[in-house]
Amino acid sequence: MTDEDADEKGRERLVDWLRRERDAHVSGGLYQVTQIRFAFNSNHMEGSTLTPEQTAQLYNTGTLLAEAGEPVRADDVVEAVNHFRAFDWMLDHVDDAVDEHLVCALHATLKRGTRQENDPRYRVGAYKTLPNVIGAGLSDTATVLPADVPDAMGHVFSLYAQLHDDPFDIACAHWMFETTHPFSDGNGRVGRLVMFKELLRINAMPLIVRDEDRVLYVRGLSEFSSQPGYLIDTLLYERDYYRSLVARFTQNQVRCTYNDHWSRAQVESVASGGGITNPFVRKDHMGEHRGVERCHADADILPARKHRRHRL
């Protein structure tokens, strides 16, 4: 064993650092910063009106001071608090397998106490029963139909079970979850919590997708099957951001891998050949499933990636 290996083994897991700060009620540390920034960004991307300052105030004091003359939606407050709780629950279940129970528990926690909880159309804590799309606007992205969600999610669970610190694999697993869109609402927030959890599980650098990068992130999701580089590089960019927080607050005392190398040519050659699809998304609601069986490319299709970083 080299000195470097021994030093790495002696470092604390990032998830243990976060749990330790939480349990010790450390103020101003990595855990607190992660809670506030993760909740603000993930909720604001989905339409929350709370500001970063209001989100921090809710976390720190449990109270909220509204801007002069500006209404505050009750569900925005509830979902911010629920995100704090969902993050804590996730930390306690980092090493659990991603399965239906886990994702439904996260969804139920995020939506508890909201208006949707008492609306049967939304099925809080359970898979959707009505079709939905990503975007609900001019550039809707098709998702898996309700009847196909259990099988599609089984595929998602398999991708996460095989996950390692590879930029393409990380982006692909997240994209598969989002294009499945298993819930009536809250899919982005649940998907980003699952991605954070799984990167912690494999001792890799996690990420927070920032609201300021929403356009890049949404474009990456919508174009992943044809131009996977947008999502891959966006997620790497957000990992860079979170890595800077980890370095600042832990002084490099945690054990965490970060592989930011991938080959654009190799990945996009798979995309151009039709090899990156969600096989459970139908061409139209009356059509057949898309033709390929895997989003995760086989080793003989996608050879070992060159150590080359591509940025936006």
Once rounded to an integer, what is the mean pLDDT over residues 276-301? Answer: 54
pTM of the model: 0.89
Q: Is 189 annotated as a binding residue?
A: yes
Once rounded to an integer, what is the mean pLDDT over residues 287-309? Answer: 35
Confidence of residue 136 (pLDDT cuts 50, 70, 90): low
How much is the pLDDT for 6? 40
Q: Is 243 annotated as a binding residue?
A: no
For the chain, what is the total number of helices (H) and then of strands (E)?
12, 4
How much is the pLDDT for 9? 64
- Strands 12-13, 133-134: pairing kind: unpaired
Q: Is 28 annotated as a binding residue?
A: no
d(CA 182, CA 127): 5
- Could you report the per-residue pLDDT of 111-128, keeping only the tens digit for each? 999 999 999 999 999 999
Confidence of residue 299 (pLDDT cuts 50, 70, 90): very low
Once rounded to an integer, what is the mean pLDDT over residues 38-52? Answer: 97
Q: Which domains does the chain have, with CATH numbers?
A: 3-272 (1.10.3290.10)
Once rounded to an integer, what is the mean pLDDT over residues 33-51? Answer: 98
d(CA 170, CA 267): 13
Q: Is 192 annotated as a binding residue?
A: yes
Confidence of residue 137 (pLDDT cuts 50, 70, 90): low
Confidence of residue 10 (pLDDT cuts 50, 70, 90): confident
d(CA 68, CA 58): 17
Active site residue 307: no
Q: Is 47 annotated as a binding residue?
A: no
How much is the pLDDT for 133? 86
How much is the pLDDT for 68? 76
- Catalytic choice (174, 181, 289, 296): 181
